[in-house]
């Protein structure tokens, strides 16, 4: 029976989650399949074109792919997720899904396709280097490695973890300098969004909106005389993920960042998370020093010019 590639609708969400739960070879990814599918497919569709494809033989779903246009750049298309049932690998299913995605993305105006996260809704920055078949498939299908990215892990599994070091002494020192640290509420969202835009550029609106006051997510902020000095958020893409965070350049080095980070990690632990993922990390020494986080997941990012 021939392989057929069909566009999937929201009513097939359950089958997609089920297949990802079986086909994502790393157990931590398989366990997060429902949140990953929700972020990439349901929520991402609010601000960019998103297409989910299924590979069928008869009525059997053998593989799935989610792709999207970049919100800010129509020339770029992203493959956010591709997964093939382990029982049906090396039969051309992944190739067929990727070829269809390239055609669809070209139709949306893309000149280039990235096998890389499409912020703010992404599951991983790129292909985890441990997904060896995916690395092989990317190369076989004409993608070339572009950048490397990494996540850090903060261990929340035991009381004495440096990630759970108390924040009270540092908060008392900050209070002596007029700085208040507190949990952000819905009323803080406009000021937080404005602060993040003005200080760091415009990319974090959706992550802030997905964190502040949301279930299994949250945000803490630091302020002085009503002026925001920094924030840290977690849970917008899934409960185990920390970020984004930012401290105003003038307040850097005052200990605000470490306090905000560990407040979030404490919340995540209280919600049952045993290992927080600090996604697509920038300042390794900051996370290592403030929370004992270690580099753990490493990702290769790939790109391919269409028509090349
Ligand atoms: C990556 C994945 C989607 C590939 O699906 P697939 O249906 O097995 O891929 P195909 O059969 O179309 O393979 C296409 C080409 O990729 C290469 N390839 C795929 N798997 C390979 C492997 N295990 N070893 C070496 N090359 C491999 C081959 O060149 C293959 O062509 P060939 O069989 O004609 O030699 C599948 O392995 C998978 O679901 N992995 C787990 C999920 C994952 O890693 N997703 C990516 C991160 S989101």
Q: Specify whether 166 is located in the same domain as 262.
A: yes
Q: Specify whether 144 is located in the same domain as 166.
A: no
CA 219 to chain centroid? 16
User: Which atom of ligand 1 is found nearest the CA of 131?
Assistant: 44
**What average pLDDT does the segment 270-288 reach?**
95
Measured in Å, residue 147 CA sits from the centre of ligand 1 at 21
Pocket-testing residue among 29, 33, 99, 133, ligand 1, by greatest number of atoms within 8 A of Cβ: 133
Measured in Å, residue 85 CA sits from the centre of ligand 1 at 11
Q: Specify whether 229 is located in the same domain as 185.
A: yes
Structure pTM?
0.92
Pocket-testing residue among 24, 90, 136, 149, ligand 1, by greatest number of atoms within 8 A of Cβ: 90
Ligand 1 pocket residue status of 82, Cβ below 6 Å: yes
215: in domain: yes
Q: Specify whether 31 is located in the same domain as 120.
A: yes
- Give the count of domains, the chain: 2
281: in domain: no
Q: Does residue 43 have a pLDDT over 90?
A: no
Ligand 1 pocket residue status of 84, Cβ below 6 Å: yes
292: in domain: no
Q: Specify whether 216 is located in the same domain as 245.
A: yes
User: Which atom of ligand 1 is found nearest the CA of 89?
Assistant: 8
Domain holding 201, by residue range, is 158-273
Protein residue with least CA distance to atom 28, ligand 1? 137
Q: Specify whether 63 is located in the same domain as 163.
A: no
Tell me which residue of 122, 119, 114, 124 sits closest to 150, measured CA to CA: 124
Condensed to tens digits (0 to 9), the pLDDT of residues 232-260 reads: 999 998 999 999 999 999 888 889 999 99
pLDDT in the model for residue 276: 97
269: in domain: yes
Q: Does residue 78 have a pLDDT over 90?
A: yes
Where residue 181 falls among pLDDT bands split at 50, 70, 90?
very high
pLDDT in the model for residue 88: 97
Residue with tokens 């990690």: 265
Kindly report the CATH number assigned to the domain that includes residue 45: 3.40.630.30
Measured in Å, residue 128 CA sits from the centre of ligand 1 at 14
Percentage of the chain with pLDDT > 90? 87
Tell me which residue of 4, 61, 16, 81 sits closest to 237, measured CA to CA: 81
Burial class (CB in 10 A: 0-12, 13-18, 19+), 193: middle
Burial class (CB in 10 A: 0-12, 13-18, 19+), 14: exposed
Q: Does residue 81 have a pLDDT over 90?
A: yes
287: in domain: no
Q: Specify whether 126 is located in the same domain as 213.
A: no
Q: Specify whether 196 is located in the same domain as 64.
A: no
Ligand 1 pocket residue status of 83, Cβ below 6 Å: yes
pLDDT in the model for residue 308: 61
Measured in Å, residue 115 CA sits from the centre of ligand 1 at 14
Q: Specify whether 171 is located in the same domain as 103.
A: no
Ligand 1 pocket residue status of 81, Cβ below 6 Å: yes
Percentage of the chain with pLDDT > 70? 100
Q: Specify whether 97 is located in the same domain as 205.
A: no
Q: Specify whether 16 is located in the same domain as 136.
A: yes
Lowest-confidence region among 41-55, 133-147, 217-231, 259-273: 41-55
């Amino acid at each position: 029976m021939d392989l057929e590639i069909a566009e999937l609708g929201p009513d097939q969400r359950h089958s997609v989650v089920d297949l990802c739960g079986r086909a994502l070879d790393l157990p931590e990814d398989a366990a997060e399949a429902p949140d990953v599918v929700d972020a990439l497919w349901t929520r991402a569709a609010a601000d960019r074109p998103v297409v989910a494809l299924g590979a069928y033989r008869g009525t059997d779903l053998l593989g799935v792919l989610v792709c999207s246009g970049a919100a800010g750049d129509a020339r770029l298309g992203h493959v956010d997720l591709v997964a093939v049932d382990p029982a049906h690998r090396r039969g051309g299913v992944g190739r067929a899904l990727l070829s269809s995605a390239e055609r669809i993305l070209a139709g949306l105006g893309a000149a280039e396709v990235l096998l890389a996260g499409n912020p703010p809704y992404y599951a991983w920055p790129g292909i985890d280097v441990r997904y060896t078949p995916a690395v092989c498939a990317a190369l076989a299908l004409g993608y070339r490695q572009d950048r490397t990215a990494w996540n850090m892990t903060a261990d929340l599994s035991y009381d004495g973890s440096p990630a759970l070091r108390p924040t009270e002494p540092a908060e008392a020192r900050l209070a002596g300098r007029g700085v208040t640290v507190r949990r952000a509420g819905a009323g803080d969202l406009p000021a937080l969004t404005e602060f993040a835009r003005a200080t760091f550029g415009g990319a974090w609106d959706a992550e802030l909106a997905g964190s502040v006051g949301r279930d299994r997510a949250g945000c803490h902020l630091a302020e002085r005389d009503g002026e925001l000095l920094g924030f840290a958020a977690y849970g917008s893409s899934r409960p185990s993920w920390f970020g984004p965070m930012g401290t105003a350049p003038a307040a850097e080095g005052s200990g605000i960042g470490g306090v905000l980070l560990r407040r979030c990690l404490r919340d995540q632990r209280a919600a049952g998370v045993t290992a927080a993922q600090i996604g697509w990390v920038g300042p390794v020494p900051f996370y290592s020093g403030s929370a004992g986080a270690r580099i753990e997941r490493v990702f290769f990012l790939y790109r391919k010019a269409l028509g090349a």
